[in-house]
Amino acid sequence: MGGPSAPFLPGTPTWIILRVFMIAISYALYSGMEVIARLAEIILPVILILFLIEIILILGSNITDIEQS
């Protein structure tokens, strides 16, 4: 156990995970702030919609009790 790949990719060496992140960060830095902002414009609404769907499904499944006394 240990390293950034332990919980998600247990069979993957840590250096591969780090290399992928380094490549992604290097590309973002090379591309500039405009590309990062455009990507955020695409990703943020998707994340918000998925979050709202998750909340609706949790409340609809009666797992939680929101009427506690």
Environment class of 17 (CB within 10 Å of its CB; exposed 0-12, middle 13-18, buried 19+): middle
What mean pLDDT comes out for the span 8-26? 87
Compute the distance between CA of residue 19 and CA of residue 2 in angstroms, rounded to an integer: 17
CB 12 within 8 A of CB 5: yes
46 or 24, greater pLDDT: 46
Taking only the tens place, the pLDDT of each residue in 3-14 is 554 567 778 888
Is residue 17 very low, low, confident or very high in pLDDT (cuts 50, 70, 90)? confident
